[in-house]
Amino acid sequence: MKNLLKSIIFCLILIPFLSSCGVVYSVLLGVDTTPNWKSDKEISKQAKRYKIPDEYNLTLDTAAYYTGLSEIYSSREKELTIIETDSSEYFAFKRVLKDDTQPTQFRLFDKNGIEIFKIVNCYIDPPIPMNWNIKGCFDTFPPSLDIVSLNTHNYDLNFLLKSSSRSDDTKIALIDLPQSDYYGVILWNDFFRRPSRKLIKTVRKFIEDSDQSVHLIFIHNQNAYLWQVMGSEAQEKVKNALQ
């Protein structure tokens, strides 16, 4: 399995973020430029290093997540009053879509699962010190950031939960979560090692210092992201290897 994945990894074109960066930059940023597909066992092992509880350690369901995003954004695109690709409205629309598909993210929801804040990896200060507290967004509770695309919320907590599952394939619904005033979701992975590690540390400290009731959920999305950037031939090879 590992040998197969190593052979097809060269078929992958990682996210635009990587394609615009040199090798040295990627190393400084803590990016694994040759990521491998992760088994449930490997994901669980990595989660334990970050002290992520098994009960709230989820894995993103690629098909459900990207099918859902496609439906959401197809609907939003129909609502645009100007659809020219050089219009400011269309550019703003694509900016939000790009943000919502980034590999490392933190999203905060209220007790009803309504999103009130999000931040994604392409806004952090690279490569050092990689500060997630952009413009002091984590200095207040709830956090706040004056960036239009990040203040556009197209889905709720239920969407993420329906698009994820535990290692035993069971799912969590909002009603299953412990009662809390807020729910935080961290999307993390192993190929954005340093951003993921720094984000987890930043969010945990933020919650601890805020003295607010926030329940954290962790969603590992490495395989989902690799799948997204694979060509159809590479996807077929992975499917055959997993059978």
For residues 168-184, one letter each, b for 16 or more C-beta atoms within 10 angstroms of the residue's C-beta and e for the rest, the string is eeeebeeeebeeeebbb
Contact 56, 47 (CB under 8 A): no
Q: Cβ neighbours of residue 46 under 8 Å, at least 6 residues apart? A: 38, 190, 220
Q: What is the pLDDT of residues 104-153, one digit of tens each?
A: 999 999 999 999 999 999 888 776 788 999 999 999 999 999 999 999 99
Strand order in the sheet with 105-110: 115-120, 105-110, 182-188, 214-220, 57-60, 164-165
Here the tokens at position 4 are 């197969």
Contact 200, 186 (CB under 8 A): yes
* Residue 129 preceded by cis peptide, ω within 30: yes
Report the distance separating Cα 212 and Cα 85, nearest Å.
43
Is the pLDDT at 93 greater than 90? The verdict is no
Is residue 77 classed as helix, strand or coil in its secondary structure?
helix
pLDDT at position 241: 56
pLDDT confidence tier of residue 81, bands split at 50, 70 and 90: confident
- pTM given for the model: 0.81
User: Rounded mean pLDDT of the chain?
Assistant: 81
pLDDT at position 17: 37
Amino acid letter at 191? F
